Structure 1
Amino acid sequence: MAEPTSRGGMRRRQLPQGLLLALGVVATGLVLLLTVGVTKPDQAVGPTVTTTALPPPAVAPKPAVAAPVDHPDSSDVAELDEWARRLAKPTGVPRALLAAYGRAEMWMRTERPGCHLSWSTLAAIGQVQAVGSGPLPVPDPLWHSFAGRASSDGKPPDPRDLDDAAFTAARALCAGGQDLLTGQGWSTAVLGYTQSTADAHDVLAAATTYATVAPA
């Protein structure tokens, strides 16, 4: 029987089925190869890490040895200086700084009697923020809002003055009306000052240590 011919008169030869199958396998392989080469592989998904934020302190430090009673009508400089002298060695805080912190506590008893600020909180903030022998660092926004002169000499508050810096920090801590004898009140006040939960915990630890110190 004669083989069919194409329209041009030439015979159309059919490829063997085996060869067609082989060509199909090769074509499929090429497609897969090209697809793998241009397709971005799925990125490995690692385990989900849950970061738990450090909660604010839940307790307040106990008050430290109280600063002397303020005498509005008489000088209490000598009494305050003696108090600071007796605490300087056991606390490791310079005497001049202790006097500034004590003065701030004394003044806040009149200005904000419900605040119950202890000098130990001021000293602890100073320790955590690495004051050394310098004035307590007061953030600019707080300084502009609460700056106060710790002496009645008519001069403007000076952030480089130990007493002014401590007094301003005390005013900032007590400005919100919190009772710093309570955990919530202390935590709110200190977090408002430090803006750091980690620092607040460090301040709590330092203030707690100061609260255990007895005058020499």
Structure 2
Amino acid sequence: MASSCSWQTGNPIPEGVPPPAGAPVPEIDTNATGRPADALSEWAADLSPVVGIPAKALEAYAYAARVAQVVNPKCNLAWTTLAGIGMIESHHGTYHGSAIAANGDITPLIRGVQLDGTRGNMEILDTDNGELDGDAQLDRAMGPMQFIPETWRLYGVDANNDGEISPDNFDDAALSAAGYLCWRGKDLSTPKGWMQALRAYNLSNQYARNVRDWATAYAEGRPR
């Protein structure tokens, strides 16, 4: 599992990005009551065995991409990019045996290593008194999309209409990641915009390559 705070330097920016958009996401009512991502259940159920991504994770990625398309169409964020990140960060919410509930909640909770300045990570002293990440000494990345507490406070949103903004809910995490990527990259259909977004998520060019490779595989309908 990679940490979204693994600020490693890498090789020159790779060519050939961004990855393909993949299977089109059906139009849905993004303002629906209840869990809006449920509207994508048939789409996700058909695609899940093809790409090897849990259906609930696919619903979360696709819903986030659809919201981004509606709210910020100039961003051009594809679900495949979110899926590439989700694979690297948490194996789509299944890291160390975690599972995704019907409402998108992840259990057991997924927490990254202490961000203590070792193994290429930044040192980030506790910023939330352990309230979010359970660590009152150092920050840890949280949930299926591995947000650090400070970033979560800025970008976290409630995507499943349960009244909570949780980094441990896949819907919330995926939509929050979409907002963060769009804000940092502006237009992810361009190599420059896509790389800006990915380097904001993790300052490693190798990380961006890995996301691109996974996203491309998902776009082509093949698990790796």
In the superposition, the TM-score normalised over structure 2's length comes to 0.66
How far is the alpha carbon of 1:68 from its aligned partner? 1.5
How far is the alpha carbon of 1:78 from its aligned partner? 5.3
Task: List runs of 5+ in structure 1 lacking aligned partners.
Answer: 1-51
Structure 1 residue aligned with 2:52:
92
2:169 is the alignment partner of 1:157? no
- Does the 8 A contact of 1:108 with 1:117 survive in 2? yes
- Does the 8 A contact of 1:70 with 1:107 survive in 2? no
C-alpha distance after superposition, 1:145-174 (max 9, x if no partner): 110110334x13111111001111111100
**Residue of structure 2 aligned with 1:102, choices 62, 80, 96:** 62
Structure 2 residue aligned with 1:176:
184
Structure 1 residue aligned with 2:111:
none
Query: Measured at CA, do residues 70 and 127 of structure 1 come closer, stay the same or move farther in structure 2, by a change above 3 Å?
Result: same
Structure 1 residue aligned with 2:174:
166
Structure 2 residue aligned with 1:37:
none
Higher helix proportion (structure 1 or 2): 1
Q: Secondary structure at the match of 1:184?
A: helix
Structure 1 residue aligned with 2:209:
201
**Residue of structure 2 aligned with 1:138, choices 144, 147, 151:** 147
How far is the alpha carbon of 1:206 from its aligned partner? 0.7
How far is the alpha carbon of 1:77 from its aligned partner? 5.0
Q: Secondary structure at the match of 2:74?
A: coil
Q: Secondary structure at the match of 1:109?
A: helix
Q: Which amino acid aligns with 1:57?
A: P
**1:74, 1:143 → 2: CA distance?**
24
How far is the alpha carbon of 1:129 from its aligned partner? 2.0
**1:118, 1:141 → 2: CA distance?**
25
> Larger relative CO (CA 8 A, sep 6+): 1 or 2?
2
**Residue of structure 1 aligned with 2:25, choices 67, 82, 90:** 67
Structure 1 residue aligned with 2:72:
112
- Does the 8 A contact of 1:62 with 1:181 survive in 2? no
**Count of matched residue pairs:** 162
Query: Measured at CA, do residues 125 and 151 of structure 1 come closer, stay the same or move farther in structure 2, by a change above 3 Å?
Result: same
In the superposition, the TM-score normalised over structure 1's length comes to 0.68
**1:138, 1:213 → 2: CA distance?**
27
How far is the alpha carbon of 1:84 from its aligned partner? 0.5
- Does the 8 A contact of 2:185 with 2:195 survive in 1? no
Taking only aligned residues, the RMSD between alpha carbons, in angstroms, comes to: 2.2
Paired residues for 1:29-48 under 5 Å: none
**1:77, 1:164 → 2: CA distance?**
11
**2:30, 2:39 → 1: CA distance?**
13
Structure 2 residue aligned with 1:19:
none
Q: Which amino acid aligns with 1:180?
A: L
Task: List runs of 5+ in structure 2 lacking aligned partners.
Answer: 1-8, 95-105, 107-143
Identity level (%)? 34
- Does the 8 A contact of 2:21 with 2:78 survive in 1? yes
